[in-house]
Structure 1
Amino acid sequence: MRKLRRLALAGRPVRLRFTALYGALFLLSGVGLLAITNLVSLGSRINSPVATPPGEQLTLGAAQELIGRLQSRLSEIQALQARQLLIGSAVALAVMAVVSVVLGRIVAGRVLRPLRTITATTRRISADNLHERLAAPGPADEVKDLADTIDGLLERLEGSFAAQRRFVANASHELRTPLATMRASLDVAVAKPEPVPAQTLALADRIRAELDQVDRLLEGFLMLARTQHGALSDRARLSLGHVVSAALVARAADITAKHLTVHDGDVHDDAWTQGSRTLLTRMADNVIDNAITHNHDGGWIRLTTTADGASALLVVETSGQVLDQEQVARLAQPFQRLGTDRTGSGDGSGLGLSIVAAIAAAHGGDLDLRARPEGGLRVAVSLPLAPARAGVAA
């Protein structure tokens, strides 16, 4: 029972606990004040002498009768005063209880106000605005120490994020040079005048394919680092319908090669958004590439672009086998793939949908991945909606 009571108390808000504590203190102070007042009043009643009324000399019997009446009258007055004092004490105690709770809540709110400010500011800071600091004013107390500690943590996190992004970008750039050298050397070796054995040609083609895969992987690293860095330099208003249509036209040959049926009747021009043209185009390309690559021959792709409330929505659904939702939810993370169980091939670097998620987050949107109950995948990208008139004018 004691353990359950402790857990229940720990689950209450801090302000409620402070209110109960301060209210109890104020109430105990009021009870003590009333108790002292009653004790002093009782002592004065007990020790007060009974005065003999002045007047003529009375007989013994008349004097005793008068004294009896006076004592009876005095007892009635004392009882009346006791009742009045008791009623007044009860009313004062009730008023003091209400005042104690109100004062306790006010004092608790004043004490917790800096903590609420720190909590709200910390919740607002994310990976995109780690440069912000709490910078809590006030004297050097416990709250100030807490704010300074959080500022130091944010500074270290900002440095760590920046170092990580620089490392990915620099490593990707540096690795491009040896890859280009290897590809050039391979082309020179294959292009020699003397006959090249068929086995060597097959090996060269395989190495070239692997180099292309590494090149795409590095390009994905660069895009992911740029997206997470938040560098939206070429901002513009554009229609998701136009972007998706352009991506479909560019991949018409791949769609035909896999005999895919594309249902794009719900692609409209009313889904306008604002952001980096390069990144949003890459986002649409990755979504379409994912729908083509991870689809079986003779399958289908259904595309929808629409304006839903304050969001521009892009939905791409594909055919395929029934997938596990827990595994699908992890596809937005880098290097997460469903493997050959999904498409029968191991193509892809595992960065496509993670780049889509990063681009959507950089634009204030999100990515939702769902396994269709009938089989296949549903990819939904939600972005902030831009005014259509401004987009058309642009």
Structure 2
Amino acid sequence: MGVLRGGTVRRRFTMLYAAGFLGSGAVLLALSYLMSGTRVTSIAPGPPPDGGAGGTGGSAVAAEQRIQDLQRQLAEVQGQQNHRLLVGSLVALLVMAGVSLLLGRVLAGRVLRPLRLITSATRRISADNLHERLAVAGPVDEVKELADTVDSLLERLEASFAAQRRFVGNASHELRTPLATMRASLDVAVAKPEPAAQTVALAGRLRPELDRVDRLLDGFLLLARAQHGALGERTPVALDGVVARALTARAAGIAAKGLTVEGLDGGLDEGLDEGLDRGLDGLRPPLWTRGSAALLSRLVENVVDNAVVHNQEGGWIRVSAGREDGRARLVVETGGRVLDQGRVDRLTRPFERLGADRTGSEDGSGLGLSVVAAIAEAHGGRLALLARPEGGLCVTVVLPAAAGPEGSGGAAA
């Protein structure tokens, strides 16, 4: 029973079919053995014929003895035949056991083949192609009912995902109008001659909050766009150039925290503004991928922002990139305290943060890494987050490598 309860369904079906075949064969052989047995009937010696102890009486005794000898020989032959039959039955049973396992495996494979097809088709269907259906043809049986049930589930999931994406996109667009109105009202109030001190103070408090809400809405729009797969025109993008521009744009924030930046050639920490541009020029040939330039730029910016904003004072950032197995890899590492890997794995969820230092932070919306993960998946890549054993975080973005435009010097991966 333990064998039947463990393992795959095919293995369990094979064992059940084999046990059924083997049991049937054993019963058939046992019946054949029992029905083929014969008994030797012995004749009891009768009284000697009349004539006394003459010659005739002696001949009868000799004949009876001869009959008994023949009966013994017949019994021995029958015993040998029974033994051979028993041995042959055991050999046949062993052969039947092997044949039963083979037939059981073949039959189990044929029975489970439709389920394997349904499983493989279901695995191919993800959030990006929920429009696909199994559409299993054939007679209306249990397998087709299962496939139709899965198709109904996929249809409901597709409708739910589409409704969610429409809501996020529409809500983000609609909320921009009142935000713009509030920002304009603040500007008008502050621009008046000799505005009240309270008005100026209120405007100073509200502007950062409005900017934060605006960044949050922008993150919502990017997340919905990436999850919906609306990439627009795909063009070659040089990741090294995007990283260089992102680091250069954040040079002030890097300097304000006293961060040391180690680039692709190890020179980014020397003369920050010049070193940023010079450091990433050391990647030759350029690291190209293909996709939406705007979304890929936002991906890199979010990764760099995460490394700068959530770094410790006087910390460091290490940037590296390269090709591996036809994939473009961008790695951004930071130092800091030791993090829990379980909590790090949840950072790709919207509004997930690490610890109190990220909760309620005015510098982030909680959507940064979730947007990175969505953009990477939309481009056929992935995001990997690793808590470094020495402390800090390692962010790795893997994207399909591509050939650069003609004359760029990029090579096809």
Give TM-score scaled by structure 2 length.
0.84
Q: Counterpart amino acid of 1:359?
A: I
Q: Counterpart amino acid of 1:251?
A: R
8 Å CA contact 1:283–1:356 kept in 2: the answer is: yes
Q: Counterpart amino acid of 1:182?
A: M
Q: Which residue of 1 aligns with 2:10?
A: 15
Once the 2 structures are TM-superposed, how far is the Cα of residue 152 of structure 1 from its aligned partner?
A: 0.4
Provide, for residues 176-211 of structure 1, a one-character-per-residue CA deviation record: whole Å limited to 9, x for no partner.
111111111111121113x11223212112112211
Q: Counterpart amino acid of 1:90?
A: L
Q: Which residue of 2 aligns with 1:368?
A: 384
8 Å CA contact 1:312–1:385 kept in 2: the answer is: yes
1:46 to 39, 42, 50: 39
Provide, for residues 242-274 of structure 1, a one-character-per-residue CA deviation record: whole Å limited to 9, x for no partner.
111121233333334444332223442443222
Structure 2 portions without partners, runs of 5+: 44-55, 266-279
Per the alignment, in what secondary structure is the counterpart of residue 238 of structure 1?
Answer: strand
Once the 2 structures are TM-superposed, how far is the Cα of residue 340 of structure 1 from its aligned partner?
A: 5.2
Q: Which residue of 1 aligns with 2:276?
A: none
Q: Counterpart amino acid of 2:125?
A: I
8 Å CA contact 1:23–1:104 kept in 2: the answer is: yes
Q: Which residue of 1 aligns with 2:304?
A: 288
Q: Which residue of 2 aligns with 1:54?
A: none
Provide, for residues 197-242 of structure 1, a one-character-per-residue CA deviation record: whole Å limited to 9, x for no partner.
2232121121122111111110000000000001222212222211
Aligned pair 1:338/2:354, yes or no? Answer: yes
Aligned pair 1:81/2:81, yes or no? Answer: yes
Once the 2 structures are TM-superposed, how far is the Cα of residue 300 of structure 1 from its aligned partner?
A: 2.7
> What CA distance in whole angstroms lies between the structure 1 residues aligned with 2:335 and 2:65?
113
Q: Which residue of 1 aligns with 2:230?
A: 231
Aligned pair 1:25/2:24, yes or no? Answer: no
Provide, for residues 314-362 of structure 1, a one-character-per-residue CA deviation record: whole Å limited to 9, x for no partner.
1112244444433333222111123653699542111111101111121
> What CA distance in whole angstroms lies between the structure 2 residues aligned with 1:108 and 1:25?
13
> What CA distance in whole angstroms lies between the structure 2 residues aligned with 1:229 and 1:91?
65
> What CA distance in whole angstroms lies between the structure 2 residues aligned with 1:21 and 1:37?
24
Q: Which residue of 2 aligns with 1:167?
A: 167
Q: Which residue of 2 aligns with 1:53?
A: none
8 Å CA contact 1:322–1:372 kept in 2: the answer is: yes
Per the alignment, in what secondary structure is the counterpart of residue 264 of structure 2?
Answer: strand
Q: Which residue of 2 aligns with 1:312?
A: 328
> What CA distance in whole angstroms lies between the structure 2 residues aligned with 1:275 and 1:269?
21
Per the alignment, in what secondary structure is the counterpart of residue 265 of structure 1?
Answer: coil
Once the 2 structures are TM-superposed, how far is the Cα of residue 393 of structure 1 from its aligned partner?
A: 6.0
8 Å CA contact 1:234–1:278 kept in 2: the answer is: no
Q: Counterpart amino acid of 1:19?
A: T
8 Å CA contact 2:229–2:378 kept in 1: the answer is: yes
- Deviates most, 57-66 or 372-381: 57-66
Once the 2 structures are TM-superposed, how far is the Cα of residue 19 of structure 1 from its aligned partner?
A: 1.2
Once the 2 structures are TM-superposed, how far is the Cα of residue 367 of structure 1 from its aligned partner?
A: 1.5
Q: Which residue of 2 aligns with 1:265?
A: 264
Alignment of 1:146-185 (within 5 A): 146-185=146-185
C-alpha distance 186-135 of structure 1, shift in aligned 2 (>3 A): same
Once the 2 structures are TM-superposed, how far is the Cα of residue 374 of structure 1 from its aligned partner?
A: 4.0
8 Å CA contact 1:366–1:382 kept in 2: the answer is: yes
Provide, for residues 63-94 of structure 1, a one-character-per-residue CA deviation record: whole Å limited to 9, x for no partner.
22331232223222212221221122112111
Alignment of 1:242-261 (within 5 A): 242-261=241-260
Per the alignment, in what secondary structure is the counterpart of residue 46 of structure 1?
Answer: coil
Provide, for residues 152-192 of structure 1, a one-character-per-residue CA deviation record: whole Å limited to 9, x for no partner.
00110011001000000000001111111111111112111
Q: Which residue of 2 aligns with 1:114?
A: 114
> What CA distance in whole angstroms lies between the structure 2 residues aligned with 1:99 and 1:225?
57
Q: Which residue of 1 aligns with 2:204?
A: 205
Q: Which residue of 1 aligns with 2:401?
A: 385
Q: Which residue of 2 aligns with 1:355?
A: 371
Provide the alpha-carbon RMSD of the alignment: 2.6
> What CA distance in whole angstroms lies between the structure 2 residues aligned with 1:338 and 1:157?
31
Q: Which residue of 2 aligns with 1:216?
A: 215
8 Å CA contact 1:235–1:276 kept in 2: the answer is: yes
8 Å CA contact 2:323–2:329 kept in 1: the answer is: yes
Q: Counterpart amino acid of 2:95?
A: V
Q: Which residue of 1 aligns with 2:239?
A: 240
Q: Counterpart amino acid of 2:26?
A: V
Q: Counterpart amino acid of 1:309?
A: D
Structure 1 portions without partners, runs of 5+: 51-56
Q: Counterpart amino acid of 1:335?
A: F
* Count of equivalent residues: 380
8 Å CA contact 1:273–1:312 kept in 2: the answer is: yes
Q: Counterpart amino acid of 2:92?
A: A
Once the 2 structures are TM-superposed, how far is the Cα of residue 16 of structure 1 from its aligned partner?
A: 1.6
